[in-house]
Chain A
Amino acid sequence: MKGIALILVFGLMIIIFIVIVPLLLLFFQTAKEEHTLLTRDIYFMENALDYGSIVADTGFSYSFFQGCWDVLRKGGFSVIPGERIYEFEGKSFALWFDNGDLTPSQEEFLGELEKEVTQNLNSYTSLSYKYIGEVNLFIPQDYNVSLEPSGFDLKGEATSPSFIAVQKEDSKRGEKIKLFKNSALKRNFTSSCLEIFEEGKKRGKEFGEAVEQIVEDILSEDTWERGGQITYGVASQQLSREFMGNAVFQIIHGKTRAEAIEEIEEAVRSQVQAIPLESEFSLSMEILELEVTISPKNCQTTFPELDNPLLAEISCSFVYQALFVGKISIEDPNTKLPVFNGEEVAFTSPELVFAERIDFLPSPGES
């Protein structure tokens, strides 16, 4: 009996060792493998998620640079408002002075810059990014950028109701992992973007007012008579207004209207170009348009000697008009931003560009 019992015990042990233990081992091994693979995927995706943040952050930086460059080139606007557009040779400029100061405020400028940077950032994030050839990163495409000035620096924040996400599916293992991360971005931008704008604000107003004063001074009543009367020997009573105007003007000023226009234009040009444009930035001015007109008005002929129809008295008034449009550029040559500058992607200095228009019209009393 003892021997049989012993045999049974041995047999049982053998069954346990041969069947149950390997099964248990197999179970634990599979579980370990699953756990390891899952852990690996989670680690991998966590890295992908972190990389998503790095991509979004870099995109934010590039978006700001591009936004700063574009907005400054458009005179502080994301899209130049229709009433401010001045077109010249196929290019559009924002008017900062149009017979009066139109300089945008800092709030307006920052609002436009925020709009532009937001658009750029969402363009960057709308591109799909692959991480190590395996995982697609989902970066929000509904960012909203805000910029807060701190001195001339700008504290930038990009927020979105969506998350940065990564997703991986393994149909073989029936595994689906999706990880999320807060998408908020913060950056401190130390470029001269705001400083250039503030410089433009100061210089633009000064310049516009200076040009206005120059034109007014040059076309003052003391220098250029608003009208006159001459006695003129005429061969016929049929005199055109143009003829009469020229005759009166020439006798009053000792020069033709064309000569006077040339003289006025030259005076305006030389005095405008002499306006001091001192700045820590590189400041330049280009005259886009300068047009002076002198138009005779209300010309009348009278004959003081009734018996002498060849001697006439001609009187005319003159309307002086001067249109001046200048382009102001303020560039920071010490800063170079990596941007698409309209021709190529290159490090380019930010440059604020705007136009100023002075359209001198005589007051009603003078016409």
Chain B
Amino acid sequence: MLLSDTAKKKGIFDLYTLAIIGGLIIAVVLFVLVFAFVSNLISVKSIVKLTVDVDDKGSRLNSFLSSERGGVTYLEILGNTRAGSPPEKEVEETLEALDWSLIVEDETQEPLYTIGDVRRDAGVFVQIPLPGLKKGRIGIDTR
């Protein structure tokens, strides 16, 4: 069947229109997809950051507390403040070099030793053994 020129033109116009509309839709969908993908990445990144952050705090805390000075761990040295012995200078220097704040509390949560200011909401607290069969707490704030 032969189509008139007008009809032909109209058909071609419709086809082009559809192609443009289709292209636009694909563009919009692709944009949404890229957006979703990027936001997904950002979300995962933030979770990863959180993971690294939490994990990092724990790892750093463990590394610090298990560090040794003359065969004695920093945890033990800090715990010894309960027996009235201030930590060795090297421990203080390590804390200053790391720019960390630290607090050691006794069994009644009275401070035994502090360096800097440990923020209650941002600091990381762990319970520790103290001499004389007692238990205290250490808080660090890594900023």
**Count, A-B residue pairs, CB within 8 A:** 156
**B92: Cβ under 8 A from any A Cβ:** no
**B109: Cβ under 8 A from any A Cβ:** no
Mark B residues whose CB is within 8 Å of A.
11, 14-15, 18, 22, 25-26, 29-30, 32-33, 36-37, 40, 43-44, 47-48, 50-51, 54-55, 57-59, 61-62, 65-66, 71-73, 75-76, 79-80, 82-85, 124-135
Selected from A21, A44, A48, A127, the residue in CB contact (under 8 A) with B135 is A127
Find chain A residues with CB under 8 A from B61 CB. 47, 51, 132
Find chain B residues with CB under 8 A from A57 CB. 73
Tell me the bound Cα distance from A320 to B34 in angstroms: 109
Tell me the bound Cα distance from A7 to B21 in angstroms: 11
Tell me the bound Cα distance from A59 to B76 in angstroms: 9
Selected from A18, A65, A130, the residue in CB contact (under 8 A) with B29 is A18
**4 closest Cβ contacts across the A-B interface?**
A47-B58, A340-B132, A338-B131, A338-B83
Nearest A residue to B30, CB-CB = A17
Say yes or no: B43 contacts A33, CB within 8 Å: yes
Say yes or no: B33 contacts A131, CB within 8 Å: no
Given contacts A55-B128, A339-B132, A345-B130, contact A29 B66 (CB under 8 A): no
Given contacts A25-B37, A54-B62, A346-B83, contact A14 B22 (CB under 8 A): yes
Say yes or no: B51 contacts A58, CB within 8 Å: no
Tell me the bound Cα distance from A128 to B48 in angstroms: 30
Say yes or no: B40 contacts A29, CB within 8 Å: yes
Say yes or no: A6 contacts B18, CB within 8 Å: yes
Find chain B residues with CB under 8 A from A50 CB. 62, 66
Say yes or no: B85 contacts A347, CB within 8 Å: yes
Question: Count of A residues near B, CB < 8 Å?
Answer: 51
**A192: Cβ under 8 A from any B Cβ:** no
With A33-B44, A131-B126 given, name 11 new contacts (CB 8 A).
A18-B29, A21-B33, A32-B44, A40-B51, A43-B54, A44-B54, A47-B55, A50-B66, A54-B75, A58-B75, A65-B131
Most chain A beta-carbon neighbours within 10 Å: one of B32, B36, B48, B55:
B55
Find chain A residues with CB under 8 A from B15 CB. 3, 6
Find chain B residues with CB under 8 A from A58 CB. 73, 75-76, 79, 128-129
Say yes or no: B50 contacts A40, CB within 8 Å: yes
A-B contact pairs, 10 of them (CB 8 A): A3-B14, A10-B25, A17-B25, A36-B47, A62-B76, A62-B131, A123-B133, A129-B126, A130-B125, A347-B84
Say yes or no: B133 contacts A61, CB within 8 Å: no
Find chain A residues with CB under 8 A from B29 CB. 14, 17-18, 21
Say yes or no: B125 contacts A37, CB within 8 Å: no
Say yes or no: B54 contacts A40, CB within 8 Å: yes
Given contacts A51-B61, A58-B73, A62-B79, contact A129 B127 (CB under 8 A): yes
Say yes or no: B33 contacts A129, CB within 8 Å: no
Find chain A residues with CB under 8 A from B58 CB. 43-44, 47-48, 51, 131-132
Tell me the bound Cα distance from A354 to B71 in angstroms: 32
Say yes or no: A10 contacts B133, CB within 8 Å: no
Say yes or no: B132 contacts A66, CB within 8 Å: yes
**A120: Cβ under 8 A from any B Cβ:** yes
Selected from B43, B57, B65, the residue in CB contact (under 8 A) with A54 is B65
**A124: Cβ under 8 A from any B Cβ:** yes
Given contacts A58-B79, A132-B58, contact A43 B132 (CB under 8 A): no
Bitwise, A337-364 to B at CB < 8 A (1) or not (0) is 0111000011100000000000000000
Selected from A3, A29, A120, A132, the residue in CB contact (under 8 A) with B43 is A29
Most chain A beta-carbon neighbours within 10 Å: one of B33, B37, B127, B130:
B127
Find chain B residues with CB under 8 A from A132 CB. 57-58, 61, 124-126
Say yes or no: A51 contacts B55, CB within 8 Å: no
